[in-house]
Structure 1
Amino acid sequence: MKTPPSLLSLTIDSAVLNLSNISDLSPIPAHILLDLLLRILKAGKLTEKVLRLFIATGKDEVLSLVQALNIQHIFTPVLPTNKVKVLLAFEKHFAETKQDFSLLDNLYSAAQKMSQVNIIDNEVDIVIGALHSDMTSFMNAWRPVFSRFHLIIIKDPDLQEELQIPEGFNIDVYTKSDIDRLVGSSTSVLFSGYSCRYFGFLISRKKYVVCVDDDCIPAKDNTGNSVDAVAQHIVNLKTPATPFFFNTLYDPFCKGADFVRGYPFSLRSGVDCALSCGLCLNLADLDAPTQALKPEQRNLRYVDAVLTVPLRTMMPVSGINIAFNREAVGPALVPALRLVGEGKLRWETVEDIWCGMCVKVICDHLGLGVKSGLPYVWRTERGNAIESLKKEWKGVKLMEDIFPFFQSVSLPQSATTAEDCVIEMAKTVKEQLGKVDPMFSEAAEAMEEWIKLWKLVGSGQSS
C-alpha cells in the first residue's frame, strides 16, 4: 500500500505551483526552505525573482546550498551580434568576397562581451551615506537586493543619534571617529552631509561600487515588479558604451535594442563603461528654483531605456543613484566643490554635480563610457525648496562658469590614469577658475588632497 503524502509535502508542492504569489520566505524554517529549493530546481521553476526570494531570507543553510550548487544571477541581453548563425553568415560572405575581416572582428568582440553578464557578489560594494538615524524601513525595503552584497554605511559625522539598522546584512559601519583616524588633519576634503559617502568610495576594495541615497526605495517597473537597481547598474557597467557615435535606438546592448542602420561596424564593439547614472521616480532630481516653482511636480514615467552619453557632452551627475568601476575611475569621483553652509537636502548641494563633470571629462580623455537611464529608484525626500534656494543660489550662478570650463578643458596625453587626470584638472581649475571665485581654488586643493588620501589608503599606510 502506497504511503500517503504528508501535509508538509503537500504544502511544499503547493508552494512550487504558486511561486508567483509568494513575496517573503524568511519566516519559513531553514530545513523546509532547503526542501522547497530542491523541488523548485527539480521542477525547472528557478528564476531570478525566485532566487532573490531565497537569498533575501539571509539563512546560512540556504546561502550555502546556493553557493554549493554554483547558482548565480545571469543576465543575457538579446542582440543579433550574439546570434551564431548571423555571425557565420557574415563570415561566409567575407570569405567568399575576400573582404577585410576587421568588421567581423568587431561583431565577434561585441558578441563576446554580451554573451553573459555574470554578477559576482564579491565584486560589488553597496555604499550608503546615512543622513537619517533610523534606517530600518530603508534597509528592509532593499533587503531582497542588498542582502547578497557587502554594504559600507557611512554615518554623517554631524548626525548625533545612533544608527538603527536591522539584522541580516553583511555591513561595515563607519563613524566620525573612523573618518578622523583615517583622514587625520585634512581640512580640504570634508566628509559631512552627502559627502560622507565619498569615504565609502575611499575605503572600498571592490571593483564595482553602487551608491543609493538613504531616502530612496526600490522603484516598480511598468509591469509592477520591483527594480533590482544593483543588477541593472552592473549590467550597464559590464556591457560596452558607445560614446563615439550616437545610437538613436538607445543602448544597443540592452534587451530589445540594437545598432541602427548606418551605425559603423568598426565602432560596434564599443568601449568599457565606467559610470552608470540611474534616475529617480516620484521626486526627480530638480534644482531648488524649479522645485519651488513646481512644488507638486512628480516624475511618474518609467522609461525603459539606457543611453550612452556622447563624447564631450557634459552632464550633471546625481549621486542619488549611481554605480562606477572603481578600478577605472574611482579617484575621479572626488568631493571637492562645496557651497558655504551646504545643507542636508539634495537641493542644497553641488558636490556631486562638480564630481560628475570631473568624471565625465576624465572618462572622455581615457576612452571610457558613461551611461544614463535605468535603473530607477523611488525617491521620497522632502524639504522646503524655497529655504533651500537660499543655500543653493550661489551654486546655480557658479554653473554658468563651471559648464564652459569643463566643455573646453583639455587634459595632457601624459595623464593616463584617473589619478593623473584629477591632478592635472586641479591645476587647470586653480589657474582658470581660481580667479573667478576663491571657492574654486579651495576645490582644486581638495582635489589634490583627495588623490593623496586615495594613494595613502590604497597603500595601507593610513591604518
Structure 2
Amino acid sequence: MRTPPALVSLAIDAALLNLPNISDLSSIPEHILLELFLRTLRAGKLTEKSLNLFIATGKEEVLSLIQALNIQHVLTPVLPTTHFDIGNSNLATFRQCETTFYLYFIICLAQTIRTMSQVSIKDDEVDIVIGALHSDLTSFMEDWRQVFSRFHLIIVKDPDLKEELKTSDGFNLDVYTKSDIDRVVGSSSSTILFSGYSCRYFGYLMSRKKYVISVDDDCLPARDNNGVSIDAVAQHITNLATPATPFFFNTLYDPYRKGADFVRGYPFSLRTGVTCALSCGLWLNLADYDAPTQALKPGHRNSRYVDAVLTVPTRAMMPVSGINIGFDRESVGPALLPVLRLAGEGKVRWETVEDIWCGMCVKVVCDHMGLGVKTGLPYVWRKERGDAVESLKKEWEGVKLMEEVVPFFQSVSLSSEAVSAEDCVVEMAAVVKERLGPLDPVFARAADAMVDWINLWKTVAGTRSAA
C-alpha cells in the first residue's frame, strides 16, 4: 500500500507552486523555511523576487546557506512557475495577517489537489470490447453509433454461435471468431474457456490499448432523470482519469466530480488519492440479481437512476460484472480473467459466476497495489434475457460457493514480492489451491486456470512485442 505524503510536505509543495504570490515568509518556522528554500533551488525556481523573500526573513540558517552556496540574484527562473488564482481579495486578506499564513498554505494545497494526479485519456488509447452472443449486431451498433464511432472496437463472437456475424458499416473494428481463439489459446483451451459472455476476455487479451471499456450486446444507451442519453464511455473515462480515494471514505461520494469536494475531517495527506484502475457501471431495467432473488421478484425492474460515483473502500469485496466496466488494461488487465467454471453453467448472467470471482480477484490486486475502484455511473439499459427459474438450476452451485469465496478473498494477503498484476494472480492462485482446493474441485481447477491465463497473457504480450 502506498504511504501518503505528510501534510507538511504537501504544504511546502503548495507554497513552492505559489511562491510568486507570497509577499512575506517570516512567519514560517525556520526548519520548514529551510526545506522550502532547498526545494525552490532543486526546482530551479529561485528568482530575484523569491531570493529577496528568503533574505527578508532574517533566518540565520537560510542566510548562512545562501552565503555558503554563493547564491547571486537570478533574473529569470530556470523553469516556469505554475500560477494559481485564488482571488485578489482573499489573497490580500491572507497577506495582511501573519497568523493566517498556514491557512494560506492549506488553501493553496486544496486547489493544487483538485488539479494534480488527473490524467488525460485520448480516444486512441481506448478499446471498446463487445462479447457477441447475437449473430445480428446491426441494431445494437446503430444504437451506440454516436458513442462508439470515435473508438476502435473489438468484437469477439461466442465460439458456440453458429450463424454468420452481422455488423454495421462505418466503424473501426476487429472481429475475432472461434478460429482466432483456437489459434491464440492453443493448448490452454483445456482450462481457459471463452464460451458465452466469457468471450469478452479474449478481447481483453487481444487489445493493444491502455484502457478497455466493456459493454455487452444486450445493453443499450440509458437515459438520465432528464431524459438525456448517457455517454457511458465518456463517464468511464472520467472515472479512470480522476483519482480514487479508497483509504478514507468521503461521505459526499466522489470528491472529484463537478460540484463535489472533500468533507470536513478528510485528511489532506490523502486527498491526492490514487490511480483509479477499474470503473464499474450499473444498469437500468434488469438489475443484477442472482437467480433466487429474481425468481422471487419476477416483475421487479430497476428504474432508479442515482447520479453518484463512489470509491469502494480498501479491503471491501464486491462482485464485478463485465456487462458495463472500464479498466486500465496495463495496470490490472491480467487480473480480469475467466477461470471459475460451474459444472453445469449456462451462458447468461444468472447461470455463471466467473465474473464475480474475477471481480474479487481484481479487487484484491487493486488493494495490494494501491489502486482504486469506482462504482456507480455510468448506467446502461439492459434488455430482458434468460429465465430465472430455469437458470437457478445452473447457478445454485455458484450461490453456495460464494459462502466460501467471499471470506477467502477478504482474508487474502499478498507478499511484497508481488509487484505486478501478473505476480498477484500467480501468488493468489497458489493460495486458492492450498486453502480452497480441498473444499471443492472447482477451486483447484480455477487455480490452474489462473496460472494458465497469466502464461497466456505473457505469451500474447511477448508475441506482440516481437512483432
Q: Distance in 1 between matches of 2:459 and 2:109?
A: 40
The match for 1:142 is 144
Determine which of 369, 392, 395 is the counterpart of 1:392. Answer: 395
How many Å apart are 1:161 and its aligned residue?
0.3
Are residues 1:323 and 2:343 paired? no
The match for 2:176 is 174
Q: Structure 1 residues 364 and 92, CA, compared in 2 at 3 Å: closer, same or farther?
A: farther
Looking at CA atoms only, which structure, 1 or 2, has the larger radius of gyration?
2
Determine which of 232, 245, 262 is the counterpart of 2:265. Answer: 262
Are residues 1:251 and 2:254 paired? yes
SS at match of 1:377: strand
The match for 1:292 is 295
How many Å apart are 1:98 and its aligned residue?
6.0
Q: Distance in 2 between matches of 1:227 and 1:135?
A: 20
Structure 1 segment 95-134 matched on structure 2, within 5 A:
99=102, 107-113=110-116, 118-134=120-136
Determine which of 360, 381, 385 is the counterpart of 1:382. Answer: 385
Q: Determine if contact 1:158/1:192 at 8 Å carries over to the other structure.
A: yes
How many Å apart are 1:107 and its aligned residue?
3.0
SS at match of 1:184: helix
Determine which of 157, 161, 172 is the counterpart of 1:155. Answer: 157
Q: Determine if contact 2:280/2:374 at 8 Å carries over to the other structure.
A: yes
Q: Distance in 1 between matches of 2:87 and 2:314?
A: 30
Structure 1 segment 190-201 matched on structure 2, within 5 A:
190-201=193-204
Determine which of 427, 439, 442 is the counterpart of 1:436. Answer: 439
How many Å apart are 1:344 and its aligned residue?
1.7
The match for 2:3 is none
Q: Determine if contact 1:426/1:448 at 8 Å carries over to the other structure.
A: yes
The match for 2:217 is 214
SS at match of 2:114: helix
Are residues 1:85 and 2:92 paired? no
The match for 2:230 is 227
Q: Which runs of at least 4 in structure 1 moved beyond 6 Å after TM superposition?
A: none
Determine which of 276, 280, 305 is the counterpart of 2:279. Answer: 276
Q: Distance in 1 between matches of 2:313 and 2:384?
A: 31
Determine which of 350, 358, 364 is the counterpart of 1:355. Answer: 358
Q: Which amino acid aligns with 2:140?
A: F
How many Å apart are 1:113 and its aligned residue?
3.6
Q: Determine if contact 1:114/1:253 at 8 Å carries over to the other structure.
A: no
Q: Which amino acid aligns with 1:194?
A: Y
The match for 2:186 is 184
Q: Structure 1 residues 101 and 266, CA, compared in 2 at 3 Å: closer, same or farther?
A: farther
Q: Distance in 2 between matches of 1:392 and 1:100?
A: 57
Q: Determine if contact 2:114/2:256 at 8 Å carries over to the other structure.
A: no
The match for 2:338 is 335
Q: Percent identity?
A: 70
Q: Distance in 1 between matches of 2:93 and 2:160?
A: 62
How many Å apart are 1:318 and its aligned residue?
1.1
Q: Distance in 1 between matches of 2:417 and 2:309?
A: 32
How many Å apart are 1:338 and its aligned residue?
1.0
Q: Which runs of 5+ in 2 are unaligned?
A: 1-82
Q: Structure 1 residues 429 and 163, CA, compared in 2 at 3 Å: closer, same or farther?
A: same
Q: Which amino acid aligns with 2:265?
A: G
Q: Distance in 2 between matches of 1:435 and 1:178?
A: 35
Q: Which amino acid aligns with 1:210?
A: I
SS at match of 2:282: strand
Determine which of 447, 460, 463 is the counterpart of 2:450. Answer: 447
How many Å apart are 1:112 and its aligned residue?
2.2
How many Å apart are 1:121 and its aligned residue?
1.1
SS at match of 2:390: helix
How many Å apart are 1:222 and its aligned residue?
1.1
SS at match of 1:374: strand
Deviations 1:277-332, CA, capped at 9 Å, x for gaps? 00010001110001100011000011000010001000011111001000111111
How many equivalent residue pairs? 381
Q: Scaled by the length of structure 2, what TM-score is found?
A: 0.78
Q: Distance in 2 between matches of 1:391 and 1:425?
A: 27
How many Å apart are 1:84 and its aligned residue?
3.5
Q: Which runs of 5+ in 1 are unaligned?
A: 1-81
Deviations 1:326-374, CA, capped at 9 Å, x for gaps? 0111111111111113212110010100000000011000000000000
Q: Distance in 1 between matches of 2:405 and 2:324?
A: 23
Worse-superposed segment, 91-100 or 342-351: 91-100
Deviations 1:19-71, CA, capped at 9 Å, x for gaps? xxxxxxxxxxxxxxxxxxxxxxxxxxxxxxxxxxxxxxxxxxxxxxxxxxxxx
CA RMSD of aligned residues (A): 2.3
